Structure formats: structure tokens, C-alpha cells
Structure 1
């Protein structure tokens, strides 16, 4: 494993090679900042490691055991040697043709090779277009994947790939190629399982409400009232002021899965960031269009102290869950908005993961557009404003 920084891909690849040693791996997982040229990175890795497959892609930033950064020139790799831990890769580059259809085809192909309860890492290009700005919606990809895969138990986790925090672009390393508008699923062997912890720190500050008018990602009404007015009233904000930026930093809309009356567990919630508000329509626009008419939601409070407390609790829970196990690798898939440059947090929450995770477990992470993990002990969903900590280990 290596985590380095250089504007020269050849230098970065050489430093990675020096860090992992002379033995030639069978496969690389690699994530690098979006200021790198992806073809130059792949060529440099091939020079250093030989013609082995490379999976991963662009990242708004990279997190390692001893350092992190989101300046655009970071590179992190994991070298895989043991055939017993090597995943099989399934790839689609059809996201532009329809995200749900591409996800369904990917899930169907994974279902043909995956063992029951397989650990599968899903990575995908998050950006469909820069001008006009348009995303490959993660909820559509994941819902399609679940449809195509079927009802067999699955441990699906992963995230969307970005070149930077401004959602400028994204690309995927898919073996020996760089791809746009692509998604890959890495299907780990039956002897490998994954433990995941969801960390967001958003807490409900309202009762359950029904979405009574919605169009795509635009929520117009909650319990028959203009959604923006309901949120402003709950927060004590002056009515009639949009304050879109404040809303995006202060609240999300959350859907609780499972028993609605069970005690609060943050891993039971799918939260959707509010991108903007429309004062005239009284509506709010969410980051994903997967909530529907009749969806029951709560207004969720979001602030940096809740986020940091959530990370401390989540890392401690992970340490307890994997203590004494044969742990191979920890992956931290971290929403780019949680970085202090975006959130304004005085402490980088990624540093809490680096410092708190049991030190013998190798760690690599990347700043993502969207995160994917099992929610409420059930199927996997796309997530916003979330850190997903995943530890791959040999199955007990």
C-alpha cells in the first residue's frame, strides 16, 4: 500500500513502487487526484508494475494511513498479490445510455459469478456532463444493480468517482483502460467478507412527514405544505428567504428504513442533501431523485460537531467489530463535502479515521461524490454526506 503526492505521474508511480517493494502484484487498486492525466497515470503504473490490471479511478482527494489531501495530485494504491483475495471485475461503460439500465446489466452480470453474500465493491463515474452540469445519479445505478442482481444476499459497498470537489469530471480505471461514463463491480471471492459502518451524524429534528408533491429531485410539499416553508419553520429561519446555502449546510431530508419506531441508529437512514431552494415555488431540490410521492421523511439536522462525533463512534464500533479477525484492508469512502475545505469543520474528519482505526489494518480512502453501503441491515443504497468505512477480511 502507498499514498504519495507529486504532479508528475511517473514520480508518483515510482514512489508507490518503492513503498510496496519489489514483488510484482497481480492487481492494483488505485485512486488519484483529478489534476493527473489518467492515461499518463495508467502508463506510469504499467512501467513500474508491469501489464497488470488496475481498478479504481479519479478522486477528489486521497486518504492514507499517515496522510491525506485533496489538492489534485494525490495517488493511493493497494497492491493485491494473493489469488485467494483477488476480485473478479465486471465493467459497463453504458451509463450515458441510461443509468438504471446500465446498473441492471451490471447487477445481472455480477449475479452470474458472485457467491451468496459476496462482498462487491461498486465504483462509477459520477459526472455525466460538466456543461450543463449533470450527474450519473447513483440511486438509479444502485437501484438498477439491485434489480438485476436479484434477491440473493449481497454485501455491496462503494462510491462515485470525481476529479475534484466542484463536480468537474470523473473517470474509471477499468483494467488496462481509462473509461468515462463507466461503472465497475469488483466481486471478491467467497472467502472474503466486508464489515461496513455508516457515519453521517445527521439527527432527526422533526416528526415523520409524507412527501405529498414531488417531481424528480424537486420536493414541493411535505404533509400538504410547501416544503421550503416547513423546513424554514422547523429551523426558525425567516419565512420568505431562500437561504439555499444555509439549508445545504444545516439540514438534509432523511428516510428511515426498517422499524420507524426503533431507537435512533444513524445506519438506518438514507439522507439527501438539499442542493438549492426555490422561494417562489416553495420547493427544495435534492442531490438524488429517488424519493417519491408518499415517501415518509424527516428533517435531519446536520452540523460539524455531529459529524465528528459520528466518526469517533463509528471508528470505535468498527474496531470492536473486527477485533481479532483476519483483516486485510480498510477502505474509507468519504463524501467530498465533509472535507473541512467544504464543510468548514475545524478538524478533518478523515484524520479521526486515520488516528482512530486500529493501526495494524492497512487503510486507503478517497473523497467521493456519493457513497454506497447496506442500510438498516438490508439492501445497499446510495448515500449523501456520509463516510462509509469498510473492512475487508477473511471470512470466519
Structure 2
């Protein structure tokens, strides 16, 4: 098994894919990549539909999965506010890969048996698959999908994230095989000789006060503790340091408390979601997540120092609890 990744900031998508493909092939030493995972910034949105063909032509015909992103990271580099394309590739001997696409309307109801969930991704519990899942926050109830998969595949690792880069429905892109989707979720089930351990580092720190959603519609945040969220932001902005004010221009997020019964959530107890737009007239914010009244939330900032510290701490914790495998 071997993994590698590459990033390109070329403004033309074809050349960005070509640059990454060359690096990937060199790193793999001529081995065939069984899995290709790609992320592309919204600067390339006009070429989203061309991406699967470009990857197949330039990087090979391994199983493809990916999505659009507001920021791109890979090979130790991060690209934001400019064109970016990232590709990760894996050589996975004795692993069967099964890509899938799911729409929100495909999700079984809460009383459905495990077999209904297994059917939508084409796998059974006896296969023991792990899953990589990428979802569009505007069109799919991610918490329902994950709850169902946890029920049907309790021992399987589920990793992934949310597509971003778009600020309205159908503006994001999801890639699975040769197809490009604008809604739902894409994923790949991995069966066979593979084990996955998860380490999550959010790289964000809370600012302001924790508040409750008192009014929302789908992904539109209308009120926090009875106030328009833009009014809350203006009041909070006045109390920030100059450095945090600068960060808030491009690195402001909304954290949603994961556990409704957690009375004192800490860093890591929030689901971090993008703020994808605003309605200045209504004072509302558009969030990259379906919201519910009563949820507790807090604004967060992401910065390089916090991200590095968070990742180092999580990796140290992981290494301290796992013995290295002998060769």
C-alpha cells in the first residue's frame, strides 16, 4: 500500500491536472494508482465537467472520487483565494473499490433495516467496508446519512467532508468515476486488506459567545438568541483584536455543537461549517449545513497557528495510544 499527493496552482485546469499527474506518477514509481481523490477550487468552476476526463487522460483510470472546495490542501501545501487543484493517489493491493452516488431522496427512513442502507452503497456488512464520503451541504442531510451508515455498518470507518466553493444550491461539484454531480453525496467503499484509523483536527478556535439558533430555514441562519446573525457579528467584531479582525475577513466559520447534551463544549466538540453567503437586508447568513432551531452554535476562526497546534496534538495523542506495526 502506498499513498502520495500533489498540488498545483496553475490557472488552467488541464495544466494543473497534468502537473499533479506527473508528480503522482514519479512518487509511485510507475505503479498503477487504484484510487484517485481530487479537490478543485471554485476558480475552475467553468471546467468542472471536464475534470473526470482530464484525470483519466493524464493520471490513469483508477477509481475517481472528489469534490470542489473553497480551499485546497495537499502535499504539505494549502491554497486559498487563488486557483488550486489537489490530487491524492493510492496503490491498494487486495482492496476492492466500489464508488457510489446517493441523493437525499435515496436515504431510507429512520425505521429502515440495515439491508436498505447496504443496498444504496452496494455493500453488505459481511464485506466489512470502510467508506470515504463527500457530500453537498445544500442538498443532503449529512447527519441522516451518517446515522444510517453507522447503524448498517457499525464497525466501518467513515471519513470525508463537505463540498464547498459554491454559495448556492448546485454550485458545488461532486466527482465519482466519469460523472459529475451537483447534489447528494459521492463515496467509495473499500473492501479487503485495509484498515483505517481516524484523526480529526479542525484547526479552529471559538470566538464570541455560544448562542442558540432561534430561527432558521434549511441552511439559512435567521436569528441567534433572537437577534439577526449579522447584528451579532457586528457586535462581536468590535471586541476582536486587530489580528482576529483580519482573520475574520476570510477565515470565519460557524461551529455547531455536536452533542445536544454537552453543557460545556470545548474545542473539538463542534462541527465546523462554512459561511457561504449573507442576506444584508434580512441580516441572515447562509451556512454550509442544514440547520435546526434549538441548536447551539459559536463562531470560529481558523488560523495557521491553531491548525498546526491542533494537528500536532491529535497526532501525538494517536501515536501515544497505538503501537507501531512491525515490518
**Common fold by TM > 0.5:** yes
- Alignment partner of 1:22: what SS? coil
Query: Which residue matches 2:179?
Result: 178
Contact 1:204–1:301 (CA under 8 A) maintained in structure 2: yes
After TM superposition, give the deviation of residue 275 of structure 1 in Å: 4.6
- State the Cα RMSD in Å: 4.1
Q: Distance in 2 between matches of 1:31 and 1:179?
A: 12
- Alignment partner of 1:146: what SS? helix
Query: Which residue matches 2:57?
Result: 44
Contact 1:161–1:170 (CA under 8 A) maintained in structure 2: yes
User: What are the equivalent positions in structure 2 for 1:305-344 lying under 5 Å apart?
Assistant: 308-322=305-319, 324-326=323-325
After TM superposition, give the deviation of residue 224 of structure 1 in Å: 3.8
Give unpaired runs (5+ residues) of structure 1: 127-135, 238-242, 328-396
C-alpha distance 216-13 of structure 1, shift in aligned 2 (>3 A): closer
Contact 1:107–1:144 (CA under 8 A) maintained in structure 2: no
C-alpha distance 215-324 of structure 1, shift in aligned 2 (>3 A): same
C-alpha distance 198-101 of structure 1, shift in aligned 2 (>3 A): farther
Give unpaired runs (5+ residues) of structure 2: 109-115, 240-244
Q: Distance in 2 between matches of 1:233 and 1:102?
A: 42
After TM superposition, give the deviation of residue 41 of structure 1 in Å: 1.6
- Alignment partner of 1:202: what SS? strand
- Alignment partner of 1:196: what SS? coil
- Alignment partner of 1:213: what SS? strand
Structure 1 counterpart of 2:200, from 197, 200, 203: 197
After TM superposition, give the deviation of residue 315 of structure 1 in Å: 2.6
Q: Distance in 2 between matches of 1:246 and 1:114?
A: 44
Number of residue pairs the alignment of both structures matches: 291
Provide, for residues 317-336 of structure 1, a one-character-per-residue CA deviation record: whole Å limited to 9, x for no partner. Answer: 22430454459xxxxxxxxx
After TM superposition, give the deviation of residue 158 of structure 1 in Å: 0.9
After TM superposition, give the deviation of residue 192 of structure 1 in Å: 1.4
Query: Which residue matches 2:111?
Result: none
Contact 2:230–2:284 (CA under 8 A) maintained in structure 1: yes
Contact 2:205–2:306 (CA under 8 A) maintained in structure 1: no
Query: Which residue matches 1:81?
Result: 92
User: TM-score, normalising length from structure 1?
Assistant: 0.58
Q: Distance in 1 between matches of 2:253 and 2:133?
A: 27
Q: Which has the higher contact order (CA 8 A, sep 6+)?
A: 1
After TM superposition, give the deviation of residue 273 of structure 1 in Å: 4.4
Query: Which residue matches 2:131?
Result: 120
Query: Which residue matches 1:287?
Result: 287
